[in-house]
Amino acid sequence: MKRLGYNLVGIVVALALWELIGRVAGAGLFAPPSVALVEFMQMARQGQIFVELAGSLRQMIVGFALACLIGLPLGIAMGRSRICDGLFHPWLSMFVVISVAALVPLFVVVFGTGFWFRVAIVFVASVWYVMLTVYHGARGVEPRYIDVGRSFGAGALRAFWSILLPALYPYIVTAMRIGLVHAIRAMVVAEMFIILGYGGMIYRAGYAPSTAPLLALLVTLMLVSIAANELLRIGGRKLAPWYDERMGLAKTQQN
């Protein structure tokens, strides 16, 4: 409860400062939240903001799902196998530092500007972070746990499902949460380049005389990102009660 109280105080203080600065700077430079809220209500009545956001998120989810389906097994394999680590680590080290914006022109040439362009951008932007997070988790699993299982007759498959996977579960959830953040960012960047979807709305709003539409769109995207990330965290807690304990969150949430 104490943590929730701190969060609420932080939000109220930030909104108050934003309102004060916005009133001084003016809507043309930095619209206050009261003006941005009015603009959001107008866009919500028109309905276009939700249509574009839903379409963009649908394509983002496909790219993100592919990143998890490929990145999680590869990250685990790299963390547990020296051969896989040697094969894939150089590519991981190179691509994890490349800005997705630098790849957009190449992907436009290869995929065009349709559905698969955005899926590919989201995939490339998030898969490396998913791999990197679960890779470090897999490397941190102590070999003695596997040895104990094998001493009791557990085969390789049984040891994976009963010992390795539960130990990796917190890292898998964390990898998905980190990958989701980069997936949403990549979706917006890709759409801003081709001026389509929700990212296209943000691009066009940047040329409006008032910053209220732009800020309304950005805050909406942030709220969607926070909600999606929180859903993954809650899902992790429900499916595995030891998630908070392994990630050091249990004590914090009690406060």
Residue with tokens 């926070």: 226
Per-residue pLDDT of 55-86, as tens digits, reads 999 999 999 999 999 999 999 999 989 999 99
Amino acid (1-letter code) at residue 63: G
Please state the rounded mean pLDDT for residues 22-35: 90
pLDDT level of residue 186 (50, 70, 90 thresholds): very high
SS3 labels along 127-168: HHHHHHHHHHHHHHCCHHHHHHHHHCCCCHHHHHHHHHHHHH
User: Which tokens belong to 21?
Assistant: 């600065």
Kindly state whether residue 9 falls inside one of the protein's structural domains. no
Kindly state whether residue 25 falls inside one of the protein's structural domains. no
Kindly state whether residue 7 falls inside one of the protein's structural domains. no
- Residue 137 is part of a domain; what is its CATH number? 1.10.3720.10
Kindly state whether residue 113 falls inside one of the protein's structural domains. yes
Kindly state whether residue 14 falls inside one of the protein's structural domains. no
Kindly state whether residue 1 falls inside one of the protein's structural domains. no
Host domain of residue 231: 40-247
Is 233 or 50 the better-scoring residue by pLDDT? 50
User: Residue 248 pLDDT more than 80?
Assistant: no
Q: How far is residue 135's CA from residue 129's CA, in Å, rounded to a whole number? A: 10
Please state the rounded mean pLDDT for residues 176-198: 93
User: Which tokens belong to 117?
Assistant: 């362009």
User: In total, how many domains does the chain have?
Assistant: 1
Per-residue pLDDT of 139-182, as tens digits, reads 987 776 666 666 666 666 766 767 778 888 888 988 999 999 99
| Distances from the Cα of 163 to the Cα of 42, 118, 156, 157, angstroms | 53, 37, 10, 10
Among candidate residues 63, 10, 12, the one with its CA nearest the CA of residue 186: 63
Kindly state whether residue 183 falls inside one of the protein's structural domains. yes
Kindly state whether residue 234 falls inside one of the protein's structural domains. yes
